[in-house]
Structure 1
Amino acid sequence: MTTLAVTGHRILTLTMNPALDITTSTDVVHSTDKLRCAAARYDAGGGGINVAHVAQALGTDATAVFPAGGPAGDMVHNLLVAEGLAVRRVKIGGSTRESFTVDETSTGKQYRFVLPGPELTVAEQTECLLQLRRAAASAAIVVASGSLPPGVPPDFYQQVANVCADIGAVFLLDTSGGGLRHVNAGVTLLKPSLRELRGCVGRELTTEAEQLAAAHELISRGCAEHVLVSLGAQGALLATGGGGHRFPPVEVPAGSGVGAGDAMVAGVAVGLTRGWPLVKAVRMGIAAGAAMLLTPGTAPCTREDADRLFELADSPVEVQLVTS
C-alpha cells in the first residue's frame, strides 16, 4: 500500500485567484425580472482557501497564502483572520474578484457566477512565490488549488512545484486549463476532474479503463507521481504504481456542491499528515467532499460529519491498468 513520506502536521495552501463568495437564494430565477433574494452569506473563497478551511475544521493546522486587493480583498482577509486561520496575504493593486451563487429554492437548482479576477503584475507573482517558500519551510504538505488569474503565466504552478522540490515538501495540485497542462514535474498528487483529464489528453474517456490509462499517461509524462480523478457523484479513481483504486461515492442528501472538490483535497492532505497510506487518505477525501454537501455556501464541513461519513464509506476496489 502506497505511503508518502510526510514529515510534520501542518498544511500550507496557495490560492492565486481568491474570491469573496456571496451566496443567496430566491424562489425562481427568471431572465430580465427583478429577483428578490434572501439575506446574503459572505465567505472567503477560492481553491486553496477552501482547502485550508476544511483542513482546519478536520483538526489540522493550516496556513493560507494568497494575493488580495481592494475592498473585496480586505474583506476576504478580515474574514479569515476572524475565523482564526493563519494567513500570509500578498497585497496587490487590483481588486479581488467576487463570486455569486444563487440557490433556486423552488427547484433545488444552483446558479454560479464566477468573475475572472484581477491581473497580477510580475512583482506580485514573485512575492507570492517568496511568501510560499518562506511559509513552506515549516509545512508538511503544500496544496495549490484553483485557477490562475489574468497576467499569471500558465507555467506558474510548475514554478510552485520547483519550490516544493527545492525544500522537499509534498505537493498536491488541483487546477485546470493552462495551469494544469503546463505542469511537467514535481507534483506528488495531481487531482483533475474527469472533464479536466479529458482536456489534458484530448480524448472522451468514456470507460473506467480509458480513464485510468489517461491518468497513468500523466504519470508516465512525469507530471505527477499519483493522479486522483474526481468523478463527482460517481466517486473517484486513483492512479498509482502499476494500477489504481476505484472509490465509490458516499451517499448524502443533495446540497451545495461549492467547494466539494477542495474539501476532497483537504481530506487527502489531512490524512497524509496523520501518516495514513494514500488509499486511506483518499477515503477521508471522499468523506470530506461528501460532508461539504451538508453545509451552506462555501462554509467548511464539520469534523463530525467527515468522520461519520468516513466510517460509512465503502472500501475502494483495486483496478488494474490494461495495456495494449
Structure 2
Amino acid sequence: MAAILTLTLNPAIDISSETQVVRPTRKIRTSRTRYDPGGGGINVARVITALGGDAETLFLAGGELGALFDSLLEKEGIRRHMVPIANRTRISFMVRELGTGLEYRFVPEGPVVHARELEHCLDLIASDRSDYVVASGSLPAGAPPDIYARMARSVAARGGRFVLDTSGPALGTTLEQSRVYLVKPSSGEFEHLIGRKLDENEVMQAASEIVARGSAELVAVTMGADGAILASKEGVLRLPAIHVRVRSAVGAGDSFLSAMIWALSQGRPPIEAFRLGIAAGAAAVMRPGTELCRREDVFRLYQAGSAMAPESQQLHGGILA
C-alpha cells in the first residue's frame, strides 16, 4: 500500500445544523448540531481512512480553535501533524432549511498565515517520503499563489506524486510552474482556469491540452449531476453521475478525490479509480450536513455503476481499457 500525505493550509471547524425555516432578524433555533474537522485535505484523509486506507494529514491551525480542531481529528483516529500558527483557525457554518431542503453555507476567509509558518510546511513536505501528497483546499490569506507549485516541484524531485485540488490563482500558477500527477477541478473552477464558459466538448479538449503539454498526467473534472471527465495520455473518458437522493452537496468533490487516491494507492488503474470516485461523490451527497461518504455506500454504488450499460459511457481520443 502506497503512503499518502494530505495537506490543508486553510482548515475549518465545520458546524452543521438544521432548522425548519430561515428568516432574517429573528433568532433561528437549530437542532442536530455536529462539529467536524474540515478542509479539503482533512476531508480526503478522513474518507481514505473510512475506506480502509491509512493517510496522514498535515495542516495549519492556531488558537483555542486550533486545539479543538486537533482534538476532533484525534477522536477520529486520524494520523496528523499540526503546524501551529499565530492566528486563530476559522469556523464555517452550514444550516439546512427543512421546509425547502435548501442549504445555507457561511465560510469565512480564515486566518492570515505568515511566511515562516508556510516555510515550515515546505520543509516538512521536502522531508516527507509519502508516495502521494494531496494538496486540497483554498489558500489562506498571506500565502503566495506559487506555494503549491513549490511543493509540487519538491515532491516530483524525489519521485513522489503530487495531487492538486484547489481554485483561482493557485490552480493556474501551479499548472504553469510545475507538473502534477492529478489535478481535480470542478467544472466552475475549470472554466475560471480557462477563462470562459465551456460546453462539455470544450471541457474535454481543454483537459486533454493540459495533459498534452505536460502540466498534469491526469485531469479529472467533476460536473455535479452531469458526471465527470477524466483525461490522460490514452484519451478522455466521460462517465455520468450515479443518481441518488441528494441530502447535501457538502464534501462530494473531496469524497470523489479521496476514493480516486485510495484506489490509485492500491495499485488500481486510473479508470477504475475514476469509477470509484464517481461512486464516492454520489455516496457523499446522500449524507446530511457535513457528514462525508460511508464506506458501504461507496462500494455498493461502485458495483452498481460498474454494471451500467456501455452505451452510457462516452470515449474520446483513444481507447481506455
Shorter-chain TM-score tier: over 0.9
The answer to whether the aligner puts 1:317 opposite 2:314 as a matched pair is: yes
Q: Distance in 2 between matches of 1:39 and 1:282?
A: 33
User: 2:141 aligns to what SS in structure 1?
Assistant: coil
Residues 197 and 214, structure 1, Cα contact 8 Å, conserved in 2 = no
The answer to whether the aligner puts 1:262 opposite 2:254 as a matched pair is: yes
Residues 95 and 105, structure 2, Cα contact 8 Å, conserved in 1 = yes
Q: Distance in 1 between matches of 2:288 and 2:68?
A: 19
User: 2:192 aligns to what SS in structure 1?
Assistant: helix
Q: Distance in 2 between matches of 1:171 and 1:142?
A: 5
- Runs of 4+ aligned residues of structure 1 deviating over 3 Å after TM superposition are none
Which one-letter code corresponds to 1:143 in the other structure?
V
Shift of 1:133: 2.9
Higher relative contact order, chain-length normalized (CA < 8 Å, sep 6+): 1
The answer to whether the aligner puts 1:283 opposite 2:275 as a matched pair is: yes
The answer to whether the aligner puts 1:148 opposite 2:145 as a matched pair is: no
1:26-47, Cα deviation, whole Å (9 max, x unpaired): 1111122221111421000000
1:86-135, Cα deviation, whole Å (9 max, x unpaired): 0010000010111000000001000100011111111000111222233x
Q: Which of 227, 243, 256 is 1:251 aligned to?
A: 243
Q: Which range moved further: 145-154 or 184-193?
A: 184-193
Match of 1:38 in 2: 31
Which one-letter code corresponds to 2:188 in the other structure?
R
Shift of 1:50: 0.3
Which one-letter code corresponds to 2:317 in the other structure?
Q
Residues 88 and 131, structure 1, Cα contact 8 Å, conserved in 2 = no
1:197-228, Cα deviation, whole Å (9 max, x unpaired): 1111112112x211111112323443212211
Match of 2:179 in 1: 186
The answer to whether the aligner puts 1:169 opposite 2:160 as a matched pair is: yes
Q: Distance in 2 between matches of 1:279 and 1:298?
A: 28
TM-score, with normalisation over the residues of structure 1? 0.93
Q: Which of 171, 193, 197 is 2:190 aligned to?
A: 197
Q: Distance in 2 between matches of 1:245 and 1:39?
A: 40
Q: Distance in 2 between matches of 1:90 and 1:270?
A: 25
Q: CA RMSD in A?
A: 1.4
1:131-153, Cα deviation, whole Å (9 max, x unpaired): 2233x31x221111000000000
Pairing 1:1-324 to 2, within 5 Å after superposition: 8-134=1-127, 136-137=128-129, 139-183=130-174, 184=176, 185-206=178-199, 208-241=200-233, 243-313=235-305, 314=308, 316-320=313-317
User: 1:52 aligns to what SS in structure 2?
Assistant: helix
Q: Structure 1 pair 59/242, CA: closer, same or farther in 2 (3 Å)?
A: closer
Residues 12 and 38, structure 2, Cα contact 8 Å, conserved in 1 = yes
User: 2:209 aligns to what SS in structure 1?
Assistant: helix
Number of matched pairs: 311
Which one-letter code corresponds to 1:239 in the other structure?
A
Q: Distance in 1 between matches of 2:120 and 2:291?
A: 29
Which one-letter code corresponds to 1:235 in the other structure?
G
Unpaired runs of 5+ in structure 2?
none
Shift of 1:242: 5.2
User: 2:288 aligns to what SS in structure 1?
Assistant: coil
Identity of aligned residues (%): 45
Which one-letter code corresponds to 2:76 in the other structure?
E
Residues 112 and 142, structure 2, Cα contact 8 Å, conserved in 1 = yes
1:59-102, Cα deviation, whole Å (9 max, x unpaired): 00010100000122111111101111000100000101110000
Q: Distance in 2 between matches of 1:214 and 1:13?
A: 27
Q: Distance in 2 between matches of 1:299 and 1:131?
A: 30
Q: Structure 1 pair 39/249, CA: closer, same or farther in 2 (3 Å)?
A: closer
Q: Distance in 1 between matches of 2:86 and 2:287?
A: 33
1:273-294, Cα deviation, whole Å (9 max, x unpaired): 1111101101111111111122
Which one-letter code corresponds to 1:318 in the other structure?
L
User: 2:56 aligns to what SS in structure 1?
Assistant: strand
